[in-house]
A = this chain, B = another copy of it.
Amino acid sequence: MGRAQAVAARLVSGWVCGVGVGPGDPELLTLKGLRLICKADVIAFPAPLEGPSFARSIVAPHLDDSRVELPIRMPMQESRFPAAAVYDRAAREITGHLEAGRGVAVLCQGDPFLYGSFLYLFARLAADWPVEVVPGVSSLTACAAAAGSALAARNDVLSVLPAPLGDAELEARLSACDAAALVKVGRHFPRVRRLLMRLGLEDRARLVIRAGLADERVQPLDSVDPAAVPYFSTILLHKRGRAWL
């Protein structure tokens, strides 16, 4: 870059935002998310070590090849989160774009601030740059829509419980709430199902897989093949069976 260009670049203000792109259906992107993605010079997104990014695939209908694409590649294994070195490097690359006056949209599956890995980028960038966060449709409400059953009504206590928690903790939390969403079920399915059976709650619960996508499934727990439960699947439970009762 020549000196005149460098001066011009510093006069242009870089900006960065985290955009919740929703749980998977490209139509569940918000108008604001779409506007900022279209306006961005750079899009960043989580991706596995090899292969395509799910977050990018959600907005793919709106992308052309005019943007710099910055995949944030990391092993998709729950034991490896958070991968500090990966986020450090991504934050440095994004900072480079911001200092050059570019706009950066970071794509986040679901919502950026609900169990999202965006958090770790936000923590690194927000000290030096204003980071706008555009909320998105979360998998919780998408799962409820798919199941045709409300998450919570009236004065219900709703507990959002990561399935990797231990049995005693899950049992205490499930006993105390009116409704629950168990997230990140994956390989924990058989254990969580046994727990729900012991609490007499199994018939009030359903497993939701890939809500809003063409191959979405909503299943009673006794019909589930435990070997076919992906990490990003959710068990919804309402103790009244139906929230409006």
Contact = CB atoms under 8 A, between A and B. Distances in A.
A22 interface: yes
A144 interface: yes
Contacts of A242: 123
Interface residues of A, number: 64
A148 B119 contact: no
Contacts of A126: 148
B151 A113 contact: yes
A164 B156 CA distance: 10
Contacts of A164: 155
Contacts of A137: 20, 30, 111, 135-137
A114 B99 CA distance: 41
A157 interface: yes
A10 interface: no
Contacts of A116: 150, 153
Interface string A113-147: 11110011011001000010111111011101100
Q: Which of A29, A111, A172 has the most CB of B within 10 A?
A: A111
Nearest to A169: B157
Interface stretch (A31-39, A47-55, A65-73, A198-206): A31-39
Query: Quick one: copies of this chain in the complex?
Result: 2
Contacts of A100: none
A28 B132 CA distance: 14
A150 B31 contact: no
B115 A152 contact: yes
Contacts of A216: none
Contacts of A34: 31
A72 to B, nearest CB: 16
21 contacts: A20-B137, A20-B141, A23-B135, A27-B32, A28-B30, A28-B31, A30-B30, A112-B150, A113-B243, A114-B152, A115-B154, A116-B150, A119-B244, A134-B145, A135-B138, A135-B142, A136-B137, A137-B137, A138-B138, A157-B161, A157-B165
Interface of A: 20, 22-23, 25-32, 34-35, 81-82, 111-116, 119-120, 122-123, 126, 131, 133-138, 140-142, 144-145, 148-162, 164-165, 169, 172-173, 176-177, 212, 242-244
Given A133-B145, A157-B173, 4 more contacts: A28-B31, A119-B243, A157-B160, A157-B169
